[in-house]
Structure 1
């Protein structure tokens, strides 16, 4: 490819220092394209390590690389295409304070090959602060896009609000699921969280293996607005009465699970029989809904309506019966228990879609709960996609987008930024029979609090109730995406 460039462009390419952020699906293709185009001064940064699931599309990696740094292996593999290229790799987060404005100012162009919004926001802001052109990219299945961001000339990444990830009310997840995703979210919560204090004799069994987060409790919710307080108050009164006579022991879920040895039968019957019976006692919930059906591990249905009868096909694409789900659940528990014990006291497991036992656990639990509530069950493949918020990556899409990244980069480096475009890759040709649709770059949004000439934002809140900590964590970091904010209280004391 480098041979097709004229001498002036080749010289510019050879002398230009490029930063590649991300060494995954797009990043691998991009690094390969850059060295073949003639770029010889490249730095690449990625926090991740290589997983087996990456190998079907991240072609700079091989089986022997599994577990190693993506950035380091991508560097070594890309250099084989051009041994004269000088590539520096960082196995680190681009959001680390080590990579400040001075770091970004070293480069002629920054190219994003990221898969998460937080890092994209950060790189966008750093490039604006350093006044360095940024080429942003992304793919979703067969779809993809590339755009150029230049301070004062184009929209920045945050000029327009991005759609937020869909969330679900806790009472829907815990009491009245109606869609497969509700059961999948519940199953993930069950896996992930521990040390929620619960009444173990009144079906408040919560999470087993992960870290504490009270917002992700899986026990029946007695504060469900639909109950109008009646069933909830009744339950609490019953709990208090039983506690008074010593009928209830208050302890963490993990401690209770450990004391039972993560006994599959006890856990199964608590989750899918006792808890469901407790939900059924909240009669208000079922006046206009199909009530759930409790299950007992010793008396499972021999057949179920939602299961596919055929046994052909790979395991991930087969719809498991309830008996199969129960067997998987029982088999996963000792494996996960063993993994947890290896972490030592206070250890935890992090749910990972690529961990076989964790994925099997969530698939089995989600489908059992779906059956109980009369919801269609899903295959392991479907649940993996939904639980991991995954749109399956496609190698050809990554390759096309990586090629467009380099082409837009060449325009910038040759002084033709006015010819840069936002390019969309469609799933099907448009009426003009084109898969790639270029569009004029949008102008900056004058109201953008990130890139406008006077960047500021007004937040209205109740200063009598909110704490500075909540302001920092929930609003400034959570909503405004700042990494290390500094808050000054206007009290005349300079705090």
Structure 2
């Protein structure tokens, strides 16, 4: 396709292509295909940015990379590879995060077009806002298995990426993770939390100890457990609130740590008798008395055979020693970051998750399955990426030809529609006047208990995580200009542990929130309530409710609650918001998306260019988690 396009581009359009400057954000599955198409179509000046490095698992579909490139920068290797297609192209590669302050609005203004090939929602939100601020057209894209989508975003002309809210990612209550897991994914989340407790950021919100504040416990239930809120308990004398400190004091001794996590803590949970009246109680394990089960499929490769409990314990012990050494190389105050492509880190999570699953009578999973769950991996199809990349280039050429109004949102289906077509184009939707990003005066309402909600939570969980800001500044609109959050490091850090009420923030208080990196301003109105149900810490309501997906609107009509913006189990980073995607479930979700697409566009039988009135959220919810080339469908 690219070679054909290069041959037919003539006159002013060919000059526009040659003289344009393109930014490609992401050099994974779609990014590799886009870069190849760009250099073969005649584009001469390209810059590409990607933070990731090449993994062996990328090689089956990211064709610009070879085995010798593993662990090298994706953007830099992609540059070297595509130059072999056309050495006359000027390509600059950045091995960096597009969300770095180095790439401000002036950086974006130097480009003619921005092409997104990203793998996570936070970066998408950020690039969307930067392109709006710079008034540069953005071509957004995504794939999920055989499904794909390409759309064009232009300030004032089309919807922005955030005009239609994305479904919340699946999270789990902290008490479920810590006390009563019932699915493999619960054990995987717990195992990742344990990794952070031992080697990473010791976050109290991700504590792996039994939760004595479980709402299922009553005043009389589990009395022996509830009375041990002090730092130590009678079972082993373990300091419950400092798992990392305790582990360090033992020298990360495998047997002591194993028995603490899988024997003593389980006995502690069993003392909470109410939890087990309607559940199978967990069975404590002792490292020296493990079941002698054997693997019935020992001929399978290590990733795809089921490890025995004893093998998991051995892997756990080996990983502790290796990770302890890695942590020591980080120096005082250093930490490790969990990465699904780090063999030792993945082995640790796989072994720990399976041991915990065995204890709670949950089906154990292979290392391959756990990597998919822990890394939020969705099957990626190379041909889908190639098709979507070709569509990106075609939309880019329309923009360069001065025909941006003729651009479409194009959906790639797995099966033909009623008109026997796999590709379904739809007219771009206009901006949503209630969008909290691109509206003339963006506003939202946040419901919290001002006497219990801290400023640090407002910054991290509401503004950064939920509303997508990178470096927010917050001023109380009280006539005094009181600043409670500053993007300047250390300037307002002492406010983080103070409650909103400590600053006179109450029902009806308005907060002016600015992100100077994104050139983005938002007014947040605080609505105070004494208690939110279902362990919620906050809710986002008001104008934003008008942007809810249709299914959420229906729930609201039936008396359901607004979208939960912050469970106790919400993860700090999107990659930790895990969802379980089994193979059969993925097939069902794809079929659902295709059925929704057919239903939505049935009225387009006579014309395929009418505005879209319904968006499929199913594949988006899957793809939002994303691997390097598994892109969110918006």
Q: When the two structures are aligned, how many residues end up with a matched partner?
A: 477
Distance 2:149 2:240 in 1: 53
Distance 2:26 2:182 in 1: 38
Aligned to 1:299: 289
Please give the TM-score of this superposition, normalised by the length of structure 2.
0.71
Instruction: Pick which of 4-13 and 27-36 moved more.
Output: 4-13
CA RMSD of aligned residues (A): 2.3
In the TM superposition, residue 86 of structure 1 has moved relative to its aligned partner by 1.0
Match of 2:199 among 192, 206, 209: 209
Distance 1:72 1:247 in 2: 52
CA 53–243 in structure 1, closer or farther in 2 if over 3 Å, else same: closer
Aligned to 1:68: 72
Match of 2:371 among 373, 384, 399: 384
1:331 aligns with 2:335: no
CA 39–270 in structure 1, closer or farther in 2 if over 3 Å, else same: same
SS in 2 for 1:409: helix
Q: Can you list the C-alpha shifts for 1:65-123, whole angstroms capped at 9, x where unaligned?
A: 33332222222221221111111222222222222222222222110011111111111
SS in 1 for 2:481: coil
Distance 1:266 1:401 in 2: 52
Match of 2:336 among 321, 329, 349: 349
CA contact (8 A) 1:239 1:248 kept: no
SS in 1 for 2:54: coil
Aligned to 2:384: 397
Aligned to 2:279: 289
SS in 1 for 2:446: coil
In the TM superposition, residue 381 of structure 1 has moved relative to its aligned partner by 0.8
CA 247–405 in structure 1, closer or farther in 2 if over 3 Å, else same: closer
CA 361–422 in structure 1, closer or farther in 2 if over 3 Å, else same: same
Q: Can you list the C-alpha shifts for 1:455-480, whole angstroms capped at 9, x where unaligned?
A: 33343445555454443333222322
In the TM superposition, residue 235 of structure 1 has moved relative to its aligned partner by 2.4
CA 285–48 in structure 1, closer or farther in 2 if over 3 Å, else same: same
Instruction: Pick which of 59-68 and 179-188 moved more.
Output: 59-68
In the TM superposition, residue 310 of structure 1 has moved relative to its aligned partner by 2.4
Instruction: Pick which of 457-466 and 274-283 moved more.
Output: 457-466
CA 412–234 in structure 1, closer or farther in 2 if over 3 Å, else same: same
Please give the TM-score of this superposition, normalised by the length of structure 1.
0.90
1:127 aligns with 2:117: no
Q: Can you list the C-alpha shifts for 1:250-278, whole angstroms capped at 9, x where unaligned?
A: 88333332333322222222211221121
Match of 2:424 among 417, 434, 437: 437
Aligned to 2:216: 226
CA contact (8 A) 2:232 2:239 kept: no
CA contact (8 A) 1:222 1:231 kept: no
CA 333–462 in structure 1, closer or farther in 2 if over 3 Å, else same: closer
CA 250–450 in structure 1, closer or farther in 2 if over 3 Å, else same: closer
Q: Can you list the C-alpha shifts for 1:267-292, whole angstroms capped at 9, x where unaligned?
A: 22221122112111111111111111
Aligned to 1:199: none
SS in 1 for 2:411: strand
Q: Note the residue ranges of structure 2 that are not aligned, 5 or more in a row.
A: 483-634
CA 5–279 in structure 1, closer or farther in 2 if over 3 Å, else same: same
